[in-house]
Structure 1
Amino acid sequence: MSGPVRPPRPRSPLRRATDGWLDHLRVERGRSEHTLRAYRRDTDRYLSFLATQGVDAPEGVREKHVTDFLAHLRRGDEEHPPLAATSAARTVVAVRGLHRFLALEGEVAGDPSEDVRPPAPPRRLPKALTVGDVERLLQAAALGDGPAALRDRALLEVLYGCGARVSEAIALDLDDLELGRAEDGTGGVVRLFGKGRKERIVPIGRYARDALDAWLVRGRPAMARAGRGTPAVFVNARGGRLSRQSAWTAIKAAADRAGLRGDVSPHTLRHSFATHLLDGGADVRVVQELLGHASVTTTQIYTHVSTQHLREVYAQAHPRARG
């Protein structure tokens, strides 16, 4: 005979509160089972940590408990390795969601996690191509003399020559171009519309101007004929505006033909534009304007890339750089 069935252990007030939050997410917010399982794992670890601090009720949690838990995640323990900033941030997001729910429901007087910020992941430096790699990429885009090859070369020249985002390049209309005059070497300008439709005027160099001239004169008329008079600068084979995906595909194909390793994207050309300007001595404020950054702080990340380039040049060229 089996022994008497033991009644389940009573849930702590914190456990009941957490189960109520997860039920709210499932029923009222429609969160997926995958998300709910992740939140369950994160809050299980949180509740276990609070238990070691002698806390088993929502009203007993203080801000220090939340910050100590975050430090515990980054430090790790015998059962868990230290969490990277991204993973720790995800766990803290679950904890903050729980406490915010309890505060809104009136279960507690305030939210002890309100001022606790998830750790920021380390900011990766942008990837930039060398000038030689950019030249190989642009040459590979120009293979052939058909309309598509002319368009792809002009597109890549604009992305690199103007530092344009891919969304800005494909949104260009014919009226946004002022290409200047070839006989006096005037490069002209391009009008770009960035985030929030913020307009900026960017100079366009001779190579990009010549590539655009070739596309507009010898390539675009054939493709645009299939459409209904679109004003778009870059069009597809059906005469409509070129899509972001098609722009990505053109760059990927050119990178493959050029034998470039790694992920080469439209943003790679924008990064390369900024880095090469700084390497050439451009002021960071000028680069900020050209890129359309609202704050110079965003642009200054490129100065780290440029500094690394200077270190490499110094190490190779200065007679006292190496022992």
Structure 2
Amino acid sequence: MAGADGLTPAATAFLDHLAVERGLAAHTVAAYRRDLARYCAFLTEHGRDDLADVTAPDVRDYVLAVRTGSDGRPALAASSTARMVAAVRGWHRFAAVEGWTPGDPAASVKPPSRPRRLPKALRIEQVGALLDAAGQGDGPVPVRDRALLELLYSTGARISEVVGLDVDDLDLETCQVLLRGKGDKQRVVPVGSYAVDAVQAYLVRARPALASRGRGTPALFCNTLGRRLSRQSAWAVLRSAAGRAGLTVAVSPHTLRHSFATHLLAGGADVRVVQELLGHASVTTTQIYTQVTPETLREVYVAAHPRAIG
């Protein structure tokens, strides 16, 4: 963190705490590092070279700068600002507990409220087209890609959870898989028959050929070099399949997870069951999927009201 030498030791200690004691994923720690680098640069530019000298007004000024871009860097949306504020608050709380500072100046600083938006979910027929498109082509890669996307949609797993799977995490006899979520929290979720068939086909017809190109890996999904498939490569698989399927809507790594939750709830699943399947710590996070769209309201109204249609 150039230009913030007086702040660096406390920041480094906090990042080590996140990685070692809290077990956060490397990409999450990297995001915290970027957020704190911007915050440290702001503090240094305003004459705060020691974390113990930072005040609540300093933190509030920083939040305003992030939202407006007045610190000379790109302005952030409310959701991105909220993430950055979380990093700042976490650092100050850690510093106070560990004795780096006499108090926590960020304790009273609240992040901007995030707009509540419905997650973008694919229609069931769109999911079918996406999965079919993933399996197009010859060789082991299309077989792998179909299994990857089938497993994502069948379990509602995060893309990082699926590429992090080892072969031993999957039990095809009981149709279950062991997922490791945020903070290395584990959960066992069922796997549907379509995904079981796709993964079985991959294990028999494709994985041996892919894995033989490397030095041996326990990873369930391998790349063409015989190594564990990365999140970025899995995302590329999803984008490529969406293009071949002719989908005009935006498709992101979370699209199949959103679709999984939305389709389960639309089919009558209890929200707390979906919460467990998704690995959400709070049911509040899951309840965003229960919001009703205006289109759904209209469809139910037309179908149910005795005088909706003359």
Bin for the TM-score computed over the shorter chain = 0.5 to 0.7
Cα pair distance change 1:226/1:118, threshold 3 Å? closer
Q: 1:238 is aligned with what amino acid? A: L
Q: Is the 8 A contact 1:85 1:121 kept in 2?
A: yes
For 1:178, the equivalent position in structure 2 comes to 171
Cα pair distance change 1:297/1:111, threshold 3 Å? closer
Give the whole-Å Cα distance in 1 for the aligned partners of 2:38 and 2:259. 42
Give the whole-Å Cα distance in 2 for the aligned partners of 1:86 and 1:163. 23
Match of 1:199 among 164, 174, 186: 186
Cα pair distance change 1:145/1:196, threshold 3 Å? same
Q: 2:285 is aligned with what amino acid? A: T
Q: How does 1:99-110 map to 2 (within 5 A)?
A: none
Structure 1 unaligned blocks of 5 or more:
1-24, 42-60, 75-82, 97-109, 181-186
Normalization by structure 1: what TM-score?
A: 0.65
Cα pair distance change 1:240/1:316, threshold 3 Å? farther
Q: How does 1:223-242 map to 2 (within 5 A)?
A: 223-242=210-229
Give the whole-Å Cα distance in 2 for the aligned partners of 1:152 and 1:162. 16
Q: Is the 8 A contact 1:227 1:239 kept in 2?
A: yes
Deviation at 1:313, TM superposition (A): 2.9
Deviation at 1:261, TM superposition (A): 1.8
SS in 2 for 1:300: helix
Give the whole-Å Cα distance in 1 for the aligned partners of 2:229 and 2:104. 49
Deviation digits for residues 222-277 of structure 1, max 9, x if unmatched?
11111122111100111111011110000000001111123212211000000000
Cα pair distance change 1:157/1:36, threshold 3 Å? same
Q: 2:265 is aligned with what amino acid? A: L
Deviation digits for residues 32-84 of structure 1, max 9, x if unmatched?
8999689989xxxxxxxxxxxxxxxxxxx999xx99xx99xx9xxxxxxxx98
For 2:141, the equivalent position in structure 1 comes to 148
Give the whole-Å Cα distance in 2 for the aligned partners of 1:285 and 1:313. 26
Structure 2 unaligned blocks of 5 or more:
9-35, 47-54, 68-75, 90-102
For 2:250, the equivalent position in structure 1 comes to 263
Give the whole-Å Cα distance in 2 for the aligned partners of 1:296 and 1:322. 38
Give the whole-Å Cα distance in 2 for the aligned partners of 1:282 and 1:250. 29
Give the whole-Å Cα distance in 2 for the aligned partners of 1:209 and 1:310. 32
Q: 1:272 is aligned with what amino acid? A: S
For 1:314, the equivalent position in structure 2 comes to 300
Deviation digits for residues 105-147 of structure 1, max 9, x if unmatched?
xxxxx99985242422213321111101101100110112420
Q: 1:223 is aligned with what amino acid? A: L
Normalization by structure 2: what TM-score?
A: 0.67
Q: 1:132 is aligned with what amino acid? A: E
Cα pair distance change 1:87/1:134, threshold 3 Å? closer
Cα pair distance change 1:87/1:276, threshold 3 Å? closer
Q: 1:150 is aligned with what amino acid? A: V
Give the whole-Å Cα distance in 2 for the aligned partners of 1:212 and 1:170. 13
Q: Is the 8 A contact 1:314 1:321 kept in 2?
A: no
**Correspondence 1:294 to 2:287:** no
Give the whole-Å Cα distance in 1 for the aligned partners of 2:185 and 2:191. 19
Q: How does 1:129-144 map to 2 (within 5 A)?
A: 129-144=122-137
Query: Rg larger in 1 or in 2?
Result: 1
Q: Is the 8 A contact 1:176 1:190 kept in 2?
A: yes
Deviation at 1:206, TM superposition (A): 0.9
Give the whole-Å Cα distance in 2 for the aligned partners of 1:251 and 1:172. 18
Q: How does 1:16-31 map to 2 (within 5 A)?
A: 28-29=6-7
Q: Is the 8 A contact 2:7 2:40 kept in 1?
A: no
Deviation at 1:198, TM superposition (A): 1.3
SS in 1 for 2:117: coil
Cα pair distance change 1:316/1:40, threshold 3 Å? farther
Give the whole-Å Cα distance in 1 for the aligned partners of 2:198 and 2:80. 46
- How large is the RMSD of aligned CA atoms in angstroms? 4.3
Match of 1:168 among 161, 185, 201: 161
Deviation at 1:309, TM superposition (A): 6.1
Q: Percent identity?
A: 58
Q: Is the 8 A contact 2:4 2:44 kept in 1?
A: no
Cα pair distance change 1:316/1:193, threshold 3 Å? same
